[in-house]
Structure 1
Amino acid sequence: MSADSDVANFEGDDPKRARHTVILGWSNKIPSLLRQLVAHNHNEHGLQITVVAAMEVEQMQVEINHHMDDLVGTSLKLICGSRLDTQILRKASIDTAQAVIILAESQDAEESDELAVIIVIKILKVVDTAHFRGHIVVEVHDVENEPWIKQAGRGLVETVVAKEVITRLMVQCARQSGVAQIWRDILGSERVEFYIQRWPELDGMRFSNALISFPDAIPCGVKVASRRGKIVLNPDDDYILGEGDEVIVIAADHDSYTPSTSTSVAQVFPLRSPIEVEQAKPVKKILFCGWQSDMDDMVSILDHVLRRGSELWIFSEEPQEEREKRFNEKGIVVADLENVKLSHYSGEATRKKDLEALPLETFDSILLVADGGASFDAEQELLSTLILIKSIQASRMPYREARAVHMLPAGNSKSSWIDELQHNSAQSIIVSEVLNARTRQVLGQAGSHDSQEIEISDEMVSMALAMVAEDRRIGGVLDELFAEQGNEMVMRPAEVYFDQEEELSFFDIMVRGRQRREIVIGYHSLFEDTPVINPCHKAVKKKWSFQDSFIALVERQ
């Protein structure tokens, strides 16, 4: 193949490019990753993206054209070649890149992560590390391999552990359905994003005052200069912003916000007891359909975030002996689980008779996982399971509705009543681990998405990759939010912040949240389809309802 056929350029409207991102490898994530990178830079009009993959340029072009209509002024360069070839890496102008993204092509964790280390070493041979101003973002399969990949990168590597992202999101969405849309809004670039910036005029200010100093952003943490740039989310109210500190905010764009010199006067609220916060942990009955290698992580996390009395059923073709062996190897002792009762059931998820033997109408969440990874056949089986479950649930709906009424005894607190309404929704929440773009397309064409179905897909991983590629400091923020310890985003009932329906500004709500060591970042009105994160007019008072819910950044208990 001649050099001309190895490379293709698709120019946008500005031939002089200042921002350059290189993607090494090809996977199902390419279309969504390109969309996210273009969206992140929609105001810059200076982005160049180079893709290096071991496939024909014409084939790459067809795939991209199928998923993207407009590059919005972005220059796209496609190179056919090996990402292990230093000459190819030079042709891709790695040395001028703001970010280099290494995609995982293989589903074999060890093979993929070992190859990532080799590619990182190859990149370091090509660039002048003393003057290289970019960074490398690696999609990692196994979290245990993450330290070795970072070590190979000599301080230039940030990582996104794809399986960890999906696992944490599935668990969070199983606990609270509204969290899925929140993550889409924050990880995506169309509404709000995380930004980190230095504001010298805030030096000497307490964090509690800085929190209500941004009319157009939500401060949620600090990059602490005195602690070598450590990311601290949800810091103490008394933390004093110091010289060199940078404020982490959620905002619409990097130039859409600035601090105000005058802080808002907010209404305080009597602090509720810690017992009520603990009771906010829900009791859930959850079913896993399928089996995956990190099931032990999911069980451990659920045991931590759910209330005592919760049930976790695992339904899979995987023999029970193998499941228990895996748990034992990972140190999970079923008898020692504090809040979750674990039950094993065997059967085929695509066999209606086996599914009918399960009380599908009684589960609060059903988590579907594709046993075969991202293969199209495995996800076709997942799609079949989804359709069968919906059919069985629909046939048993009268029982479901009767149960919803039965579980609302008189005398419950308002927060418990609201939680029970969420707990007893008309259909179980279905969290599908959908990795293949074609499967997602079939789901959309089938019209199978409804308000209680949440799809966790590689689109979410692509969002994380693009966000870290845009600003490597965001990697620390995502690490904190996806870690087992630290902070997480939750939905809070309105009763947490006021005793009666009253007129309050959003700043008032934020201050009341701080009394609980929470940062309120948005709200969701009952009759609105999507939540509002970083609302406008924060100082304007409005009438709130007990039917509203609030989105808060809270420390995991």
Structure 2
Amino acid sequence: MQKSIDNRTKNRSQMRRGSLADQLHYKFDNFMSRGTVALVSGLALVSLAFIFLMSVLVSLFGVAPEGSDRLDLPESLWSVLMRTLDSGTVGGDTGWAFRLTMLFVTFGGIFVVSTLIGLLSNGINTKLEDLRKGRSRVIETDHIVILGWSLQIFTLISELALANANRPNTCIVVLSELDKVQMETDLYDTLGKLSRIRLVCRTGSPSSMVDLGMVSIQTARSIIILNPSHDQADTQLVKTLLAITSIPRSHSQPYHIVAQVQTPKTLDVIKLIGQNEVEPLLSNDLISRIVVQTCRQSGLSIVYMDLLNFSGDEIYFKAEPALHGKTYGQALLSYNDSTVIGIQHANGAIQLNPPSDTLLQADGQLIAISKDDDTIHLTKHVNPPIDSQAIRIAEPAIARAEHTLILGWSDRVSNIIQQLDHYVAPGSTVVVMAEFPAAEVDLSEETLQLQKQTVSYQQGNPTDRAVLERLNLLEYDHVVVLCNPALDAEQADAQTLVTLLHLRDISDRHQHDFQIVTEILDVRNQALAQVARPDDFVISEQIVSLMLAQVSEQKQINAVLADLFNAEGSEIYLKPVTNYVAVDYPVNFYTVVEAGRQRGESAIGYRRQADANNMAMSFGIVINPPKDQLIEFKPEDVIIVLAES
């Protein structure tokens, strides 16, 4: 009885373990599933064992070619190896014993060694395919990482290349879900070969911690997050920020993250996630403010482009101990080749164009426009050469009602109208025309809460010449042409260009010069827009790209840009030169700066109206001119200033 029980137990144990063949089959399956490295290693060992075994047998039994001496072990190893690698070698063998033995060796080579070579070849192809897919790890430090992909990336990388031209071996790593080869092709076709900049593209998700580790996010100097404009854009941004901040930093410095944000409500969430590590750029709001400011002043967008790109003069911060205890007004005249525009106080607060009698504190810094951060030097003039006789202080012009036409529709329309209300005089009007039925558009008083303007809406197609003719364009001072967000960039820009051509033709026919601001999404279409001769451009993707590049290089710039484009405080204005100096004879820019100081303004440049349509001359815009250089102004020229209004 006990023996029967023991047998049943033994049988059940054998059933659980399986037969020897099953166990060997199971172990073989496990081995095969380990991948190419395990297979190559296993087959290499089998191949070596087979070659060695056959060599020993050949040497031991004295198998040799007819008429040859017995082969020793080294010679037999070589003979067997050659026949496993090349099946044609057996064709020259003599003696049937040796032929049959080597034929067996050759068959072994075909089944074992050839399989090994095939696996090696497949492994190499697989590795090359992985490299093509952009899934290999980036081993970099102090590099710039761009997360995401949009039209902004071309201008962004171009500007970063200019900003880092004096830093050899700068690496810019792009991580997006696009194919690596496609990204590299698009970047090369648009930007060409960038000197002294290494571009590395990787395919992956910006919100994946594994993929972020692949681009060495923890060692990056700065991180730029591109955030396309769609409903879930900020949701993905929050996920990406959470993933980045969950990866421990490899340096003592905190992360420097510049993030493009679509909606203001996301800012509170970003503060909770990144604290002081994230510099958010509220792109839609900033573009709306720029549209409003540029639609009222011809040439203003060119000033912004000049300040924001790295090919001209930029904004820098400068600690100047020699000026501590002096006033802001004295600081305005203390530099010949740089232009002071504000102060950063000891607590980090930014104040552009403060009152002239504001004292400069020991822990504060000046905010200045200069060619580079190492070109901000105090003037050699002990007493600035100011021509007091040339200064003219004119009375401010009386504000009048303005009439604005907005063609097209986007999510920014309401914000544009609300921002415009901060600048215009009472009695101003805004007319919006788009293809949507009036019932689908909310421009009610309750929504907009305007103080100085009235708003009306008309349904119509802005690309239709007859529709534009019926609008009576002669009544308007400013026209804003917006792109259709429902279309791709090329189609939207094409419609904008058609509208622009009609507007300029109507303007020329009636000899009525109204101010036109055009939104162009793709910077590559800017040259086409020049044909229609618009006064200004607001290239949405380019403006945002320039801001992202500036903030990625200088974290403090974000606060300056927020103040500069805010309706409260000082903004950039272009005002008649006759309000500042006489135009009867040449004067230097020291005199212009002093005239501005007496008006509570900071002069930063001028515009020659004679070159207003000359692209090669920056449309007449000159920022940060040498202050001791004589300038021959014309009555139609304007001075560019930072002022309250």
Q: TM-score w.r.t. structure 2 length? A: 0.73
Name the CA distance, whole Å, in 2 between partners of 1:6 and 1:460: 32
Residue correspondence of structure 1 range 349-368 to structure 2 within 5 A: 349-368=462-481
Given residue 390 of structure 1, which amino acid in structure 2 is its aligned partner?
R
Quote the Cα distance in structure 2 between the aligned partners of 1:374 and 1:54: 22
1:307 aligns with 2:425: yes
Matched, 1:385 2:499: yes
Structure 1 residue runs of 5 or longer lacking an equivalent are 402-423
- The corresponding residue for 1:527 is 610
**Structure 2: gaps spanning 5 or more residues:** 1-125, 612-618
Quick one: which amino acid aligns to residue 264 of structure 1? P
Determine if the alignment matches structure 1 residue 472 to structure 2 residue 562. Answer: no
Matches within 5 A, 1:46-61: 46-61=169-184
Q: In 1, are the aligned partners of 2:301 and 2:536 still within 8 Å (CA)?
A: no
In the alignment, the residues of structure 1 paired with residue 237 and residue 468 of structure 2 have an alpha-carbon distance, to the nearest angstrom, of 40
Provide the rounded CA distance (Å) in 2 between the counterparts of 1:354 and 1:503. Answer: 49
1:215 counterpart residue number: 336
SS at match of 2:552: helix
Partner Cα separation in structure 2 for residue 59 and residue 462 of structure 1: 21
Number of residue-to-residue matches in the alignment: 507
Question: SS at the partner of 2:265?
Answer: helix
Letter of the 1:266 counterpart? I
CA distance in 1, matches of 2:443, 2:456: 15
User: Which structure carries more relative contact order (alpha carbon 8 Å, separation 6+)?
Assistant: 1
1:497 aligns to 2:580 (yes or no):
yes
Which has the greater radius of gyration? 2
2:447 is aligned, of 318, 325, 330, to 330
Contact 1:187–1:467 (CA under 8 A) maintained in structure 2: yes
Q: 1:265-320 deviations in whole A, cap 9, x for unaligned?
A: 434578857xx3352x4643321111222322222222221234433221122333
Number of the residue aligned with 2:79: none
Residue pairs, 1:236-251, within 5 angstroms: 236-251=355-370
- Please give the TM-score of this superposition, normalised by the length of structure 1: 0.84
Change beyond 3 A, Cα 1:57–1:86? same
- Check conservation: 1:146, 1:159, Cα contact below 8 A: yes
Q: Distance in 2 between matches of 1:448 and 1:282?
A: 32
How far apart, CA to CA, are the structure 2 residues paired with 1:444 and 1:282?
Answer: 34
Equivalents in 1 of 2:141, 2:455: separation in Å?
Answer: 54
**Could you say if the C-alpha distance between residues 507 and 282 of structure 1 is closer, same or farther in structure 2, counting changes exceeding 3 Å?**
farther
Residue 127 of structure 1: how far off its partner (Å): 3.0
Give the one of 429, 434, 445 matched to 2:515: 429
Task: After TM superposition, give the deviation of residue 475 of structure 1 in Å.
Answer: 0.2
Determine the C-alpha separation between the residues in 2 that align with 1:511 and 1:61: 51
Greater helix percent: which structure? 2
Aligned to 1:224: 345
| Equivalent-residue separation in structure 1 for 2:200 and 2:542 (angstroms) | 22
Alignment of 1:71-470 (within 5 A): 71-108=194-231, 111-128=232-249, 131-225=252-346, 228-260=347-379, 262-268=382-388, 272=393, 276-277=395-396, 279=398, 281=399, 283-323=401-441, 325-328=442-445, 330-333=447-450, 337-338=451-452, 340-372=453-485, 375-376=488-489, 377-394=491-508, 397=509, 400-401=510-511, 425=513, 428-437=514-523, 440-441=524-525, 444-445=527-528, 448-450=531-533, 452-470=535-553
Q: For residues 348-395 of structure 1, what are the alpha-carbon distances to aligned partners after superposition, in whole Å with 9 as ceiling and x for unaligned?
A: 22333322211134433221112325623344333332333334444x
Please give the root-mean-square deviation of Cα atoms over the aligned residues, in Å.
2.6
In 1, the alpha carbon distance for the partners of 2:144 and 2:578 equals 46
Percent sequence identity is 28
The correspondence for 1:483, drawn from 549, 566, 571, is 566
Structure with higher strand content: 1
**Whole-angstrom CA distance in 2 between matches of 1:374 and 1:185:** 30
Determine the structure 2 residue equivalent to 1:7: 134
Q: Which residue of 2 aligns with 1:515?
A: 598
Change (3 A) 1:116 1:247: same
Cα distance in 2 for residues equivalent to 1:393 and 1:235: 40
1:232 is paired with a residue whose SS is strand
- Give, in angstroms, the shift of residue 73 of structure 1: 0.4
Counterpart-to-counterpart distance in 2, 1:165 and 1:256: 29
1:56-100 deviation line (CA, Å, top 9, x unaligned): 110001110111123120111111111112122122121222210
Amino acid at match of 2:483: A
